[in-house]
Structure 1
Amino acid sequence: MKSHATTLLAEVRTFRQNHPDVRYVDLIALDIPGHFYGKRYPIEMLEKVAAGSPLKLPQNAVLLGVQGGLFKIGDYCFNDGDPDANRRLVPGTLKPVSWESQPLGQMLITSDGSEAPIEFEPREVLAKVLERLQRKGIHPVVAFELEFYLFDKKLDNGLPQCARDPLSDDPDDQPNLHIERLSRFSEVLDDMAQTAKDQGIDITVITAEIGPGQFEINFGHQGDGMRAADWAALFCRSTRGVALKHGYRASFMAKPYLQFPGSGMHVHVSLYDGAGNNLLAAHQQQPLRHAVAGCLELLPHCMPIFSPNHNAFRRLGGTVNAATRASWGFEDRDACVRIPESDPRNLRIEHRLASADANPYLVLAAILVGLEHGLEAKREPIAPLNEDRTSGTDFPLEMLDAVRAMQHQPVLRDKLGAEFVDVYCENKRQDHLAFQQEIPAREYRWFL
């Protein structure tokens, strides 16, 4: 059996043979706000790393704020000497980058699985949840769906402009939910889909959504939850790059327009035992009800993960299918937790609350912890929306309230890790406060 290093080295050498013009590879990882950070390595140095040479990056790179700055979080960033931390290459993720002007490669890196993983690294948080579930004989199957907007490449005084429809400059002329819009933007959408497939991502359905220039792309169901989250992260990166190549901006911003629907991250999750039996479907679907109850109980405490910034909270209670209360229902898109119609083999939940710009590793970790907690607590959920349209429990609709609700929740501290919860909450608190340190023009118009 090949060793880990031998397999990685073979992957790098095969890549070099297939892409002899590539001189550099971006080694990338997702930070807490969901942005990629990393280093650009010469391809020959990558071979050395694959063979076992150390790969180190600053530990505190994970703690970057939305704008890339560092906040004082406990002893991190300013009282710890800014130490390096080991990373490792993620096998199977070395792929060509086709949207840059020069030949380039990219490869995921992570601290999970290393000798001293970073407790608050998003990928490590998810890894711990998946490992714990596996020890319990629970095997998730996961599929992400991501909505995004296309904008014109040029901003208008800093504001986004609707994507130029090849047949009309009027956004009202774009047919909502219509197959024709897919045809009008087929050149860029086809390139996005093919580029994602070249990255190893299983792209399935493409839908024109309600907002002008808004689309949704679905991924295949994946038995490796980590890989499913990798796909969501990598898709955002490649889609932005392809859009720029075609003269557009692609944005996963949660609520770019007040008058149009926001963009969400929908996550389908089913749970199986080691023999392949659907755990949610057993005993006349009683475990499904328990799992839903657990998700709804923890949902108000996970809002900083599902709505990770000021703009994401604007999406809640929006024009279409964005709830303001924790709710569930069968075939009901107004619910936070929807149960799609399916046979017992494919019974699953669809978690619909997260914004498209949320961190996919943390979103999936939070959903799985909710399901796990529900299966353990075995409580009955509140009434589904199908029985009571007023059913639901409140959750925070403002970041500082959300952080307070998350930070001291005992189940989250236990199952996501107390160190992660503290670091994440302080990162969100500091980002929110930093966002408030600018007076917008409207404030002068109102109060000057």
Structure 2
Amino acid sequence: MQSKSSTLLAEVRTFRQNHPEVRYVDLIALDIPGHFYGKRYPVEMLEKVAAGSPLKLPQNAVLLGAQGGLFKIGDYCFNDGDPDANRRLVPGTLKPVSWEAQPLGQMLITSDGTDAPIEFEPREVLAKVLERLHRKGIHPVVAFELEFYLFDKKLDDGLPQFARDPLSGDSDDQPNLHIERLSRFGTVLDDMAQTAKAQGLDITVITAELGPGQFEINFGHLDDGLRAADWAALFCRSTRGVALKHGYRASFMAKPYLQHPGSGMHVHVSLYDPAGNNLLAAHQQQPLRHAVAGCLELLPHCMPIFSPNHNAFRRLGGTVNAATRACWGFEDRDACVRIPESDPRNLRIEHRLASADANPYLVLAAILVGLEHGLDAGLEPIAPLNEDRNSGADFPLEMLDAVRAMQHQPALREGLGAEFVDVYCENKRQDHLAFQQEIHAREYRWYL
């Protein structure tokens, strides 16, 4: 059996043989707001890292705010000496980058699996949740769906403009699911899909969504939750790059237009035992009810994860298929937790609340903790929307209220880690306050 270092070394050497033009590789990881940070390594130095040389980056890079600034969070950032922390290469993620002007490679890095993982690193948080579930004999199978908008590359006084139809030159106004929009934007969409596949992502269905220039990409189901979240994160990065290459902007911003639907991150999750039996389908689907109840009970306390910024809260109200209460239903897209029609083998939940710009590692971790909580406690859910259209529980619709609801919830602190919850909540609180430190022109129009 090959050691991890020999496997990684073989991966790097094979990459160099197949891509001799590549001189640098971006080593990247996702921070708390969902942005990639990292370093650009000469490819020959990457061989040394693969062979076992240390790979260190500042620990507090994970804590950067949405605009890249550092916040004082406990002793982090300003009273800890800004220490380095070990990272490791994620096997199987070294791939060519085709959307940059120069030939590059990229590879995921993480602190999970190192001697001292960073407790608040998103990928490490998910890794701990998955490890705990595996010890309980629970094996999730996961699939993400991501919505995004295409815009014109040029902004108009900072505001996004509709993507122009390549055929007519007009703004795209094809209706929901219209196949003609897929044809007219086929060149850029095909490049996005092929680029994603070159990154090792299993892209399946592409849909034209309701908003002008809005699309949805579905991924294949995976029995590796970390890899499924990797796919979602990497797709966002490559899609933005490919769009720019074709003269567009791609954005996963939750609510770019007030008058059009927002963009969501839908996550399908089924749970299996070690023998491959669907746990949710056992005992006349009673475990499904427990899992749904757990998700709904914790959902109001997870809003800073599902709606991670001011704009994301704008998506929750007055739009198609975006719930404003914690609710569930069978084949009901108005529900936060939808149960798609399926046979017992494929019975699953579809969690529909998170915005497309949420951190996929943390979204999946929060969903799994909710499922675990419901199964462990044997909870019973409220009535589904199919039985009562008014069924549901309120959840916070403003960031500071959401942070207060999250920070002291016992099941979340236990399931996600108390240190992570404290750090994450303070990061979101500080980010929100920083966002408010600017007077918009509208305030002068209204109040001057």
The interval holding the TM-score normalised by the smaller chain is over 0.9
Partners of 1:173 and 1:404 in 2: CA distance: 41
**Equivalent position SS for 1:171:** coil
Q: Offset at 1:322?
A: 0.2
Alignment of 1:250-399 (within 5 A): 250-399=250-399
Partners of 1:415 and 1:331 in 2: CA distance: 29
Partners of 1:87 and 1:359 in 2: CA distance: 19
Partners of 1:175 and 1:295 in 2: CA distance: 33
CA contact (8 A) 2:28 2:37 kept: yes
Partners of 1:66 and 1:239 in 2: CA distance: 20
* % identical aligned pairs: 92
CA contact (8 A) 2:165 2:172 kept: no
CA contact (8 A) 2:324 2:394 kept: yes
CA contact (8 A) 2:163 2:172 kept: no
Q: Deviations over 1:379-419 (max 9, x none)?
A: 11000000000000000000000000000000000110000
Q: Offset at 1:319?
A: 1.6
Q: Deviations over 1:10-55 (max 9, x none)?
A: 0000000000000000000000000000000000000000000000
Root-mean-square deviation (CA, aligned residues, Å) is 0.6
Q: Deviations over 1:130-155 (max 9, x none)?
A: 00000000000000000000000000
**Equivalent position SS for 1:173:** coil
CA contact (8 A) 2:383 2:391 kept: yes
Partners of 1:357 and 1:254 in 2: CA distance: 6
C-alpha change, 1:231 and 1:172, in structure 2 (3 Å) is: closer
For these two proteins, the number of residue pairs brought into alignment is 448
Partners of 2:105 and 2:368 in 1: CA distance: 32
**Equivalent position SS for 2:205:** strand
**Equivalent position SS for 2:318:** coil
Partners of 1:173 and 1:395 in 2: CA distance: 34
Which stretch has the larger CA shift, 420-429 or 170-179? 170-179
Name the residue aligned to 2:115. 115
Q: Deviations over 1:79-135 (max 9, x none)?
A: 000000000000000000000011000000000000000000000000000000000
Partners of 1:318 and 1:178 in 2: CA distance: 23
Name the residue aligned to 1:242. 242
**Normalising to structure 2: TM-score of the pair?**
0.99
Q: Deviations over 1:257-309 (max 9, x none)?
A: 00000000000000000000000000000000000000000000000000000
**Normalising to structure 1: TM-score of the pair?**
0.99
Partners of 2:150 and 2:176 in 1: CA distance: 14
Q: Deviations over 1:197-225 (max 9, x none)?
A: 00000000000000000000000000000
Q: Deviations over 1:233-266 (max 9, x none)?
A: 0000000000000000000000000000000000
Partners of 1:345 and 1:50 in 2: CA distance: 40
Uncovered stretches (5+) of structure 2, i.e. residues with no partner: none
**Equivalent position SS for 1:53:** coil
**Equivalent position SS for 2:195:** helix
CA contact (8 A) 2:172 2:213 kept: no
Q: Offset at 1:194?
A: 0.2
Q: Offset at 1:66?
A: 0.2
Uncovered stretches (5+) of structure 1, i.e. residues with no partner: none
Q: Deviations over 1:290-345 (max 9, x none)?
A: 00000000000000000000000000013200000000000000000000000000
CA contact (8 A) 1:33 1:359 kept: yes
Partners of 1:312 and 1:106 in 2: CA distance: 29
CA contact (8 A) 1:28 1:107 kept: yes
**Equivalent position SS for 2:260:** coil
Partners of 1:175 and 1:294 in 2: CA distance: 37
Name the residue aligned to 2:232. 232
CA contact (8 A) 1:256 1:262 kept: yes
Which stretch has the larger CA shift, 164-173 or 283-292? 164-173
Partners of 1:17 and 1:171 in 2: CA distance: 44
CA contact (8 A) 2:164 2:172 kept: no
Alignment of 1:406-425 (within 5 A): 406-425=406-425
CA contact (8 A) 1:302 1:366 kept: yes
**Equivalent position SS for 2:172:** helix
CA contact (8 A) 1:340 1:349 kept: yes
Q: Offset at 1:72?
A: 0.3
Partners of 2:177 and 2:259 in 1: CA distance: 17
Name the residue aligned to 1:186. 186
Q: Deviations over 1:346-387 (max 9, x none)?
A: 000000000000000000000000000000111110000000
Partners of 1:27 and 1:56 in 2: CA distance: 11
CA contact (8 A) 1:262 1:318 kept: no
Alignment of 1:208-227 (within 5 A): 208-227=208-227
Partners of 1:284 and 1:218 in 2: CA distance: 29
CA contact (8 A) 1:306 1:363 kept: yes
Partners of 2:82 and 2:165 in 1: CA distance: 48
Which stretch has the larger CA shift, 159-168 or 337-346? 159-168
Q: Offset at 1:177?
A: 1.8
Q: Offset at 1:169?
A: 4.0
Q: Offset at 1:175?
A: 3.4
Q: Offset at 1:167?
A: 2.7
Partners of 1:301 and 1:319 in 2: CA distance: 22
CA contact (8 A) 1:149 1:214 kept: yes
Q: Offset at 1:174?
A: 2.6
